[in-house]
Amino acid sequence: MTTRHETAILDPQLYRPDFPILNRTIEDGRPFVYFDNAATTQRPRQVIEAITTLYETHYGNVHRGIHRLADETTELYEGARERIARFLNASSETEVIFTSGATAGINLVARAWGDANVHEGDEILVTELEHHSNLVPWFQLAERTGAVIRYIPITDDGLLVMEELERLLSSRTKLVAVTAASNVLGTVPPLPVIIKAAHSVGALVLVDGAQGVPHRKTDVQALDADFLVFSGHKMLGPSGVGVLYGKREILESMPPFMGGGSMIREVRMDGFTPGDVPYRFEAGTPPIVPAIGMTAAIDYLEQVGLERIDQYERQLTKRLHEELEKLEFVRILGPTPEYKSGIVSFVVDRIHAHDVAQVLDSVGVAVRAGHHCAMPLHKRLGVTASVRASFYFYNMASEIDRLIEGLDRAVRLFRRRK
């Protein structure tokens, strides 16, 4: 018998019953359409139940107790670290650090690694595609150290100008910080090429996997990135937890960033000795339940199959492109679908993105509108705001029709007023 995880093409109908929130309807009784997955995804019952069960049966603080609840919770928390290491194909669970999210992971690297290794005149290379989370921590590092930020530019279509990479890389480049997929355009940069080129000049690479890890298989050893960050809430998991992966020898060379309980080997009246990796980077009580809850999300995603998820979301992207291209009042941002993941942003002629999103909400379609924490990218594209539809595997092609219906309505409403 073929199970739902084995059908050649992913059928979202087989997964939707697992997601209670997808049962929500709007005033006219039609189902709510959730196209804001790049902001945060929804959770299946399996994840919700895993969290509830933890609070009901196994909850204590980790690494401290001499009682069974603390011991059991510690075992589950460390088990989550091992599960995530396997998910990423990391060579050791000590390469997995729990943070509060992708943003926290990038800030940890900027502080702990950056302050120790980046000096005046050194260069940090980013791209014009980056989210503010992968820009501002580097600006702050540059302010502290006198380092210089340089950009790999994009074409008008939102693809990286790869010829510029060779020109920009030099012995001054200390780090290349690049996204696994643009949270606005969906552009998927050629990470292996970038990582190889960066390593050839001795630079390290941080991959912002916030929009990559939830949607495609990520093998950190094959990728050879030095750091990778992502967030649990964008991959069916709880909010308040994320992961920083780092190569062990690099993590071991880094001083701690935050100080407090758990990150020390010894504290004396006059100072302290930091603990080992990864605990050195997990000061204070960590996100215990969210971290353990993430394993339920990973189990679920692996059953669905990340290759199938990627393939299916690209089909939705292609379909939305085809539909939007029929509307003369819409300008799609970014490249053609073959270079995109499941994210499509666009602008509507003479109607502000917020107004479009409001009309879409009135017909029960949730999208995001604004600059999506990527103001430099919007400036580069010559727009102040855009509308973004972002998919996950539980979205259906038929839901795209609802979005198109909403756009027609927005145009009718706003054009009439003008």
Lookup result for tokens 């029960």: 364
- The site string for ligand PMP over 279-318 (x = CB under 6 A, - otherwise) reads ----------------------------------------
CB 95 within 8 A of CB 246: yes
Q: Cβ of residue 183: shortest distance to ligand PMP, in angstroms?
A: 3
Looking at beta carbons only, is 183 or 386 nearer to ligand PMP? 183
Binding mask 78-117 for ligand PMP (x = CB under 6 A): -----------------------xxx--------------
Binding status of residue 150 toward ligand PMP by CB under 6 A:
no
Interface with ligand PMP includes 390 (CB under 6 A)? no
Instruction: Give me the least distance between CB of 368 and ligand PMP, in Å please.
Output: 9
Closest CB 418 distance from ligand PMP, rounded Å = 33
Beta-carbon count within 10 A of 181 CB:
26
Does 210 engage in binding with ligand PMP (CB under 6 A)? Answer: yes
Residue count of the chain = 418
Residues 73, 127, 179, 395: which binds ligand PMP (CB under 6 A)? Answer: 179
* Rounded Cα distance, 396 and 9, in Å: 13
Whether the bond between 44 and the residue before it is cis, its omega within 30 degrees of 0, is no
> Binding ligand PMP by CB under 6 A: which of 73, 127, 145, 211?
211
Kindly indicate which of the ranges 14-22, 70-78, 126-134, 361-369 contains the residues binding ligand PMP, using the contact rule CB under 6 A: 126-134
The single residue of 147, 373, 381, 403 carrying the catalytic annotation is 373
* Closest of 12, 111, 104, 13 to residue 290, by C-alpha: 104
- Which range touches ligand PMP (CB under 6 A), out of 205-213, 261-269, 399-407, 408-416? 205-213
Stretch 356-375 residues interacting with ligand PMP (CB under 6 A): 373
Question: Using an 8 Å Cβ cutoff, are 36 and 345 in contact?
Answer: no
The residues with which 151 forms a beta bridge, in sequence order, are 126
DSSP secondary structure letter of residue 112? I
Q: Is 202 left (phi over 0), alpha (psi -120 to 50) or beta?
A: left
User: Per DSSP, which regions of 13-167 are E strands?
Assistant: 33-34, 96-99, 123-127, 148-152
185 is catalytic: no
Distances in Å between the Cα of 313 and the Cα atoms of 214, 335, 338, 384 are 12, 16, 11, 27
Which parts of this chain interact with ligand PMP (CB under 6 A)?
A: 38, 101-103, 131, 133-134, 179, 183, 208, 210-211, 231, 373
